[in-house]
């Protein structure tokens, strides 16, 4: 159960930090979204009045077309490829439609020069510029209140994402060890130790392998995604190797429902 101070911070967070609940939705490629929605909806509607064989053929054609359009999306491809019946294909197509039409709820600006979030289900390399952050030790988001107090007292505008660092390994589930709020620009404030156990530091430019996800952050999903990222790296970018700890970039405030939250899971990487 969350403590009263943390509950109070969560309640005041959007009002005092510059986050808003009604932020503009992500600018999507309307043509692609319409095409996918029409394709899947048409297949699901038509299959109800067809023979079993014709139904399976129609659904498989839709599945093949969706995969061809979005070959990099593992959350779309894997269920469609694993489907071994018409019912399984229908379920996978409905999930694909949900994944591909997910809209990120933008509540705050990105730090200066940051790349756009990775689409849900996709994996790829990302280049981040140097940035400044306020960081503190954290387990199960316990550092949130310290960081919230820091930016409030220092009149520093909130940005998205919030950065969370995790320890992980073969014999343990990922465990959060630190949390950081990112400054909008590396020229804001001064580096060094601050009140309340917060440290302000500059982070050099980095490359990561990243996957976009929606929903709840939990150890099981993090461990699974960490394995996905390592596998993808070995298969698609073998010239790179992992150079740092697992991290999560959270883009939404606690008031956004779990199923509507967006986050990225990343591994820092470098050339071998």
pLDDT digits (tens, 9 = 90+) for 210-268: 999 999 999 999 999 999 999 999 999 999 999 999 999 999 988 899 999 999 999 99
Using alpha carbons only, give the angle 221, 258, 107 rounded to the nearest 5 degrees. Answer: 115
CA-nearest of 223, 214, 161, 150 to 188 is: 150
Convert the pLDDT of each residue in 88-145 to its tens digit: 999 999 999 999 989 999 999 999 999 999 999 999 999 999 999 999 999 988 999 9
Number of H helices, E strands in the chain: 7, 10
Residues 6+ apart with CB under 8 A from 234: none
The residues facing 167 across adjacent strands are 175
Whole-angstrom Cα distance, residue 211 to residue 124? 7
> Can you give the pTM of this predicted structure?
0.85
Residue 180's pLDDT is what? 98
Spell out the alpha helix ranges (H) of the chain.
Answer: 4-16, 30-46, 52-69, 74-82, 86-100, 144-153, 219-236
- Report d(CA 106, CA 15) in Å as an integer: 15
Q: What is the pLDDT of residues 8-48, one digit of tens each?
A: 344 444 444 444 444 444 454 567 767 877 888 888 887 66
* Neighbouring-strand partners of residue 248: 164, 265
Residues 184, 120: Cα–Cα separation, whole Å: 24
Q: Per residue in 148-207, pLDDT tens?
A: 999 999 999 999 999 999 998 767 789 999 999 999 999 999 999 999 999 999 999 999
Which of 262, 3, 249 has its CA nearest to residue 145?
Answer: 3
Asked whether 164 and 120 are in contact (CB, 8 A), the reply is no
Rounded CA-CA distance 85/93 in Å is 12
Asked whether 166 and 174 are in contact (CB, 8 A), the reply is yes
First to last CA, the chain: 44
Phi, psi of 246 (to 5 degrees): -60, 140
Locate tokens 């309307």: which residue? 30
- Give yes or no for a contact between 214 and 261, defined as CB atoms under 8 angstroms apart: yes
């Amino acid at each position: 159960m969350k403590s009263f101070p943390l509950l109070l911070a969560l309640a005041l967070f959007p009002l005092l930090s510059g986050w808003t609940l009604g932020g503009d939705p992500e600018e999507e490629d309307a043509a692609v979204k319409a095409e996918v929605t029409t394709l899947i909806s048409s297949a699901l509607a038509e299959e109800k009045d067809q023979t079993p064989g014709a139904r399976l053929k129609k659904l498989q054609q839709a599945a093949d077309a969706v995969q061809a359009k979005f070959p990099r999306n593992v959350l779309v491809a894997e269920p469609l490829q694993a489907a071994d019946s018409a019912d399984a294909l229908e379920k996978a197509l409905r999930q694909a439609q949900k994944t591909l039409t997910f809209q990120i709820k933008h509540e705050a600006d990105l730090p200066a020069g940051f790349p756009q979030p990775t689409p849900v289900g996709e994996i790829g390399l990302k280049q981040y510029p140097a940035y400044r952050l306020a960081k503190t030790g954290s387990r199960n988001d316990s550092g949130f209140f310290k960081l919230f107090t820091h930016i409030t007292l220092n009149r520093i505008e909130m940005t998205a994402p919030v950065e969370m660092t995790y320890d992980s390994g073969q014999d343990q589930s990922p465990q959060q060890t630190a949390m950081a709020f990112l400054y909008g620009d590396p020229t804001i404030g001064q580096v060094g130790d601050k009140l309340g156990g917060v440290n302000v530091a500059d982070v050099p430019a980095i490359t990561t392998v990243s996957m976009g996800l929606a929903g709840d952050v939990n150890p099981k999903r993090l461990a699974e995604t960490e394995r996905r990222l390592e596998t993808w790296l070995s298969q698609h970018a073998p010239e790179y190797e992992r150079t740092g700890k697992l991290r999560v970039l959270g883009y939404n405030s606690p008031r956004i429902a779990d199923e509507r939250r967006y986050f990225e899971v990343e591994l820092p990487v470098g050339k071998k």
